[in-house]
Amino acid sequence: RLRPFGRLQVVLQHLKMSKHTDSTAEVLLEKKGCAGIITLNRPKALNAINFSMIRQIYPQIKTWEKDPETFLIIIKGTGGKAFSAGGDVRALRDAGIAGDRMAQDFFKEEYSLNNAVGTCKKPYVALIDGITMGGGVGVSVHGHFRVATEKTLFAMPETAIGKYCLFPDVGGGYFLPRLSGRIGYYLGLTGSRLKGRDVLKAGIATHFVDSEKLPALEKDLTALKSPSMEDVADLLNSYHAKSKAERDKPFVLDEHMEKINSLFSGNSMEEIVKKLKQDGSAFANKQLETLNKMSPTSLKLTFRQLTEGASMSLQEVLRMEYRLSQACMKGTDFYEGVRAVLVDKDQAPRWKPAALEEVSDEFVDNCFKPLGNNDLKL
């Protein structure tokens, strides 16, 4: 017979095993057929990724990567509205104010997870049905396959609408400048949104499948027998070819591509603003209005992040972004942005400095400096 302590251990072990498929868990991790399936399960929070979710997903990806019985990994969200609408910035603000280590650990572990997705040796399929922003982009965009639907709403809103004074992190410095022309600079600096098939046309998604067909796609993926990368691609291609939604819709940015490529190709943030002012078109004025609401610090950091990230590896980008995250945590604008948007909700952040010209090159340089022993190790 088990002693009471021994019995408690068995119960705890059982709970640990079952929590991954417990419908109330924040993330569900299960094996179905040939696939490991990650389900982001915070529908009320639009599946925003918090610290405990990161700490469950990362080791599971690493385990499945080594498991000879797991041939692919699928990640999806519950609730029908969002794949994942970002990360838990409110908790980060509270941790930063309290001087808690979480402000360092969260970014270190989140970026390690982004790298695990980007370096995964097994086919990695993200079903980005619904809102996909910020942290949700980080666990999808670096994978081999990103499946958009007519419900997909993509954005990197870190600089936008007075948001948080961050920068489009989670590897944004890697994938954004690699999009065609200056689309990545436009999306990263303005926080502009793309919907449905436009997410595919911009080069962010690899496939487009009608939302109602996703359960069938998942079933067919898990039923594959020892699939290779090519087998997974073939199945996704066949669903993609049959998708009907928004098939004949022109790319929303087509009419603006010439302007995006010329106006967002300046050598500095100030130059981009100058070009927008000189252009004077309705499109340019709209972008100017958007940029004027943002943290000048955030804009300058983002511009340099995208410029440098264009020639870096994903690992180098994530190391650079970790340095930037810590600079933002030490500054004031991150806290002011979250206060204005999520705490007091007055939508009126007071940025310091308040103008691009006041953000010195020396300050920007310091934000990019190595952190010695505290640098991100991947």
* Mean pLDDT (whole number) for 58-68: 98
pLDDT in tens, 22-54: 678 999 999 999 999 999 999 999 999 999 999
Domain tally, the chain: 1
The answer as to whether 163 is a domain residue is: yes
pLDDT in tens, 186-234: 999 999 999 999 999 999 999 999 999 999 999 999 999 999 999 999 9
In this prediction, residue 185 carries a pLDDT of 98
135 is catalytic: yes
- Share of residues in the chain with pLDDT > 70 (%): 93
* Mean pLDDT (whole number) for 260-270: 96
The answer as to whether 2 is a domain residue is: no
In this prediction, residue 161 carries a pLDDT of 53
Helix crossing, 282-292 with 269-279: angle to 10°?
Answer: 140
Task: Take residue 177 and report the two structure tokens written for it.
Answer: 């400048």
Catalytic choice (110, 150, 169, 198): 169
Q: Does position 325 have pLDDT exceeding 60, yes or no? A: yes
* Mean pLDDT (whole number) for 267-282: 97
Q: Does position 98 have pLDDT exceeding 50, yes or no? A: yes
309 is catalytic: no
In this prediction, residue 92 carries a pLDDT of 87
- pLDDT tier for residue 252 given thresholds of 50, 70 and 90: very high
In this prediction, residue 222 carries a pLDDT of 98
The answer as to whether 1 is a domain residue is: no
Nearest CA to 368 out of 308, 310, 314, 312 is that of: 308
Catalytic choice (87, 138, 173, 309): 87
- Share of residues in the chain with pLDDT > 90 (%): 83
pLDDT in tens, 103-114: 899 999 999 999
Task: Spell out the SS3 assignment of the chain.
Answer: CCCHHHHHHHHHHHHHHHCCCCCCCCEEEEEECCEEEEEECCHHHCCCECHHHHHHHHHHHHHHHHCCCCCEEEEEECCCCEEECCECHHHHHHHHHHCCCHHHHHHHHHHHHHHHHHCCCCCEEEEECCEEECHHHHCCCCCCEEEECCCCEEECHHHCCCCCCCCCCCCHHHHHHHCCCCHHHHHHHHCCCEECHHHHHCCCCCEECCHHHHHHHHHHHHCCCCCCHHHHHHHHHHHHHHCCCCCCCCCCCHHHHHHHHHHCCCCCHHHHHHHHHHHCCHHHHHHHHHHHCCCHHHHHHHHHHHHHHCCCCHHHHHHHHHHHHHHHHHCCHHHHHHHHHHHCCCCCCCCCCCCHHHCCHHHHHHHCCCCHHHCCCC
169 is catalytic: yes
Catalytic choice (88, 158, 210, 218): 158
In this prediction, residue 162 carries a pLDDT of 52
- pLDDT tier for residue 357 given thresholds of 50, 70 and 90: very high
The answer as to whether 15 is a domain residue is: no
Q: Does position 369 have pLDDT exceeding 70, yes or no? A: yes
Catalytic choice (130, 134, 135, 171): 135
Give yes or no for a contact between 102 and 55, defined as CB atoms under 8 angstroms apart.
no
CA 184/CA 175 separation, integer angstroms: 8
In this prediction, residue 165 carries a pLDDT of 64
Q: Which domain holds residue 178?
A: 25-374
The answer as to whether 262 is a domain residue is: yes
CA–CA–CA angle 193, 195, 200 (5° rounding): 110
The answer as to whether 146 is a domain residue is: yes
* Mean pLDDT (whole number) for 88-94: 85
Q: What are phi and psi of 133, to 5 degrees?
A: -135, 160
In this prediction, residue 160 carries a pLDDT of 67
Instruction: Output 162 or 4, whichever has higher pLDDT.
Output: 162
Indicate the pTM of the whole model: 0.92
Task: Take residue 18 and report the two structure tokens written for it.
Answer: 């079952």
The answer as to whether 4 is a domain residue is: no
**Tokens 């300058």 appear where?**
300
Give yes or no for a contact between 306 and 173, defined as CB atoms under 8 angstroms apart.
yes
Burial class (CB in 10 A: 0-12, 13-18, 19+), 169: buried
CATH number at residue 215: 3.90.226.10
Q: Does position 11 have pLDDT exceeding 60, yes or no? A: no
* Mean pLDDT (whole number) for 60-76: 98
The answer as to whether 20 is a domain residue is: no
CA 57/CA 117 separation, integer angstroms: 10
